[in-house]
Amino acid sequence: MRSFEQLRTPITGIVVDESACETDDLAFCGGIQVTVPASDSWAGFVERAVDSDWVGIEALAAVPGTVADAVSTAATAYGQSVADTLASVRTWDRAADTQKSFPVSELGLGNGSSRLLEPLGDGGLRYELLEATFLFRQGDLTSPIHDAGLAERLGVDEGVRVALEVVSRAVRS
């Protein structure tokens, strides 16, 4: 039997697909599909998203850990959730000793939980997250702010749209 290390495809960096609007594309027209290694820093990924005008995770800037940590626990903060932009994941299934991909609809994402946290008998996790693919809208403003605490922190009314970097900076401070 081949080992995990022999079968695992190296994940070397973020892959950005800006070809939205093609007939068979999963991304909504004008959207960006981004695949990121699970071992990357979540905060670094959010910073890249904000700098690139990828809307949807800016309020998650203070979530600690890696992309794998944020995705596996379905991180949620200030009215945003990883689940809002996550499209799919590629994992290593330790029980089956093979790679397995899941669309977001099969992950059972809930605040602090997901299928990715399924335990094995030895106490380890069944799935190791290798990479996550997100679908983002492009823009420099957030979706309307619906979290009262975030609106208060920003000094704006609920329903207002704010620059991505303003939200990201506010939730990190």
Name the domain count of the chain. Answer: 1
- For residue 124, pLDDT over 80 is answered with yes
DSSP for 137-149?
Answer: EE-SBPSPP--HH
* Inside any domain, residue 154: no
**Residue 88 is assigned to a structural domain of this protein:** yes
Q: Is residue 79 part of a domain?
A: yes
- Asked, for residue 163, whether it belongs to a domain, the answer is no
Can you tell me the distance from the alpha carbon of 129 to that of 35, in angstroms, rounded to the nearest whole number? 12
Name the pTM for this structure.
Answer: 0.84
Note down the domain range covering 31: 4-139
pLDDT at position 19 over 80:
no
Close Cβ partners of 83 (under 8 Å, ≥ 6 residues apart): 74, 76, 104, 109
pLDDT, position 31? 80
Cα separation, 134 vs 77, in Å, equals: 17
Give the model's pLDDT for residue 2: 42
- Alpha-carbon span 12 to 1, nearest angstrom: 25
Least confident segment among 17-21, 60-64, 98-102: 17-21
Scored b (16 or more CB within 10 A) or e, 19-41 reads: ebeeeeeebeeebbbbbbbbebe
Q: Is residue 148 part of a domain?
A: no
Looking at residue 141, what is its pLDDT?
A: 93
Mean pLDDT of 102-123: 92
CATH code (residue 25)? 3.30.465.10
As a whole number, mean pLDDT of residues 77-100 equals 95
| 145 occurs within a structural domain | no
Residue 158 pLDDT:
95
pLDDT at position 20, please?
56
State residue 34's pLDDT score: 93
Alpha carbons 28 and 11: distance in angstroms, whole number: 25
Interval 46-84: pLDDT, tens:
999 999 999 999 999 999 999 999 999 999 999 999 999
Q: How confident is the model at residue 17 (pLDDT cuts 50, 70, 90)?
A: low
Residue at 73 is within a domain: yes
User: Is position 72 within any domain?
Assistant: yes
* Residues 6 or more apart in contact with residue 6 via CB below 8 angstroms: none
